């Protein structure tokens, strides 16, 4: 059991300069002094104790969330993108391209424009509302809609990257996982060791792969004396790693993990086996319950997909060892998805109250 970080013995007594992921962890990353670092000072996100969730488990278990929604563009994608854009710039790219409508396109646009590159987003015609892309557009993304489906868009972005001075920053970009692994470093830096369990949402399976890379690298360097069990959670309607077969039409309200055929399938299986971990599925109802619990008991507002890590932990809570330390990864900020918040907030709204002290006191239950 590690000491809780809400009052750690080693807590800072002042704010320290944080130079972003690449500066902080450059000895663990494929960069050189010549790499032009494009950074928004991403990373260094808080590891927040969640005592109400720990209490539901009991037996002295400590639970923290790694709140990566507090990265500059609102998701963990910034960790990978600072690496991908810095390396693209180093390689002389003039533009970057991805086929994405969510957190990836926002992160790609922000970092590309900061680095002086043009960010392109390729999507199928009629596929997405402007509202979903507003953040990326405001950062300066140029969005191209083709008369074809998502697979065709993916093929074209690959071809573009091959024939023009354009770097592909989709999940196939190898530098993204390098950046993402730093979240594991930060957890170890703050806890003093690795947690017993790491609970993490799994869609494309890149992030679970990246965390494991990070824990293993720190372990080899002697920065932690143990490795966590990697507990991956998928949405029930999009859980190919649980069922063992691709899902042709994945369905879940947790759109960030609505993926039927994960890009990092093989790697994720290897992570599970090496860490004695598991993949489990959680229903949309369980995800929403965790989403509301995090907000209304812990004060933490995350994307629905993020809440699957907490939903999963609560689902298998009886198997958490006594006194264990558990970290749940929250990948995105709840502000990214206002529609779900509006749809699923409890109705605690009372109107038509007389403008008098007594009437208001009565409405409040005093």
In the list 238, 295, 313, 314, the residue contacting a second copy (rule: CB under 8 A) is: 295
Total binding residues for a second copy by CB under 8 A? 105
In the list 68, 186, 196, 303, the residue contacting a second copy (rule: CB under 8 A) is: 186
Kindly state whether residue 299 participates in binding a second copy, applying the rule CB under 8 A.
Answer: yes
Nearer to a second copy by Cβ, of 222 and 244: the residue is 222
In angstroms, what is the minimal distance from the CB of 359 to a second copy?
8
Nearer to a second copy by Cβ, of 133 and 241: the residue is 133
Q: DSSP letter at 74? A: S
SS (H, E, C) 34-75: CCCCCCCCCCCCCEEECHHHHHHHCCCCEEEEEEHHHCCCCE
In angstroms, what is the minimal distance from the CB of 63 to a second copy?
14
Kindly state whether residue 41 participates in binding a second copy, applying the rule CB under 8 A.
Answer: yes
Distances (CA, A) of 106 to 76, 132, 235, 334: 11, 10, 23, 15
Which of these ranges, 53-61, 161-169, 227-235, 308-316, lies near a second copy under the rule CB under 8 A?
161-169
Binding positions for a second copy, 105-124, rule CB under 8 A: 109-111, 113-114, 118, 120, 122
Q: How crowded is residue 352: how many other Cβ atoms within 10 Å of its Cβ?
A: 6
Nearer to a second copy by Cβ, of 264 and 333: the residue is 333
Query: How many Å apart are CA 275 and CA 271, to the nearest integer?
Result: 6
Q: Are 200 and 233 in contact (CB under 8 A)?
A: yes
Q: Which of 168, 159, 156, 211 is nearest to 186 (CA)?
A: 211
Q: Cα dihedral sign for 186, 191, 194, 198?
A: negative
Q: Are 115 and 86 in contact (CB under 8 A)?
A: yes
By the 10 Å C-beta count (0-12 exposed, 13-18 middle, 19+ buried), 9 is classed as exposed
Kindly state whether residue 228 participates in binding a second copy, applying the rule CB under 8 A.
Answer: no
Kindly state whether residue 84 participates in binding a second copy, applying the rule CB under 8 A.
Answer: no
Kindly state whether residue 1 participates in binding a second copy, applying the rule CB under 8 A.
Answer: no
In the list 35, 56, 90, 145, the residue contacting a second copy (rule: CB under 8 A) is: 145
Kindly state whether residue 18 participates in binding a second copy, applying the rule CB under 8 A.
Answer: yes
Contact pattern from residue 53 through residue 82 relative to a second copy, giving x for each residue in contact according to CB under 8 A and a dash for the rest? --------------x--xxxxx--------
Binding-site members for pyridoxal 5'-phosphate are 103, 203-207, 331
């Amino acid at each position: 059991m590690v000491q809780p970080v809400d009052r750690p013995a080693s807590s800072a007594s002042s704010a320290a300069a944080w130079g972003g992921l690449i500066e902080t962890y450059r000895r663990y990353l494929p960069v050189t002094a010549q790499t032009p670092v494009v950074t928004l000072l991403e990373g260094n996100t808080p590891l927040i104790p969640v005592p109400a969730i720990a209490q539901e488990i009991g037996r002295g278990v400590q639970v923290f969330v790694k709140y990566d929604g507090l990265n500059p563009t609102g998701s963990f994608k910034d960790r990978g993108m600072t690496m991908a854009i810095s390396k693209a710039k180093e390689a002389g790219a003039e533009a970057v391209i991805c086929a994405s409508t969510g957190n990836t396109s926002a992160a790609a646009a922000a970092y590309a424009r900061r680095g002086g590159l043009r960010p392109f987003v390729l999507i199928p015609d009629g596929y997405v509302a402007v509202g979903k892309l507003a953040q990326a557009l405001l950062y300066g993304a140029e969005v191209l809609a083709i008369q074809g489906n998502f697979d065709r868009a993916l093929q074209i972005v690959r071809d573009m990257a091959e024939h023009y001075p354009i770097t592909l920053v989709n999940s196939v970009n190898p530098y993204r996982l390098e950046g993402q692994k730093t979240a594991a470093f930060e957890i170890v830096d703050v806890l003093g060791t690795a947690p017993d369990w790491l609970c993490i949402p799994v869609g494309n399976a890149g992030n679970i792969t990246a965390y494991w890379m990070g824990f293993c690298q720190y372990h080899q360097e002697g920065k932690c004396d143990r490795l966590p069990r990697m507990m991956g959670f998928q949405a029930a309607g999009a859980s190919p790693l649980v069922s063992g077969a691709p899902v042709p039409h994945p369905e879940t309200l947790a759109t960030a993990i609505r993926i039927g055929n994960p890009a990092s399938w093989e790697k994720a299986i290897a992570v599970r086996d090496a860490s004695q971990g598991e993949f489990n599925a959680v229903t949309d109802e369980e995800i929403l319950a965790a989403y509301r619990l995090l907000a209304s008991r812990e004060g933490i507002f995350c994307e629905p997909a993020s809440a699957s890590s907490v939903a999963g932990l609560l689902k298998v809570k009886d198997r958490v060892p006594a006194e264990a330390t558990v970290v749940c990864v929250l990948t995105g900020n709840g502000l990214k998805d206002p529609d779900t918040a509006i749809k699923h907030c409890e109705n605690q709204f009372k109107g038509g109250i007389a403008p008098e002290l007594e009437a208001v006191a009565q409405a409040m239950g005093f």
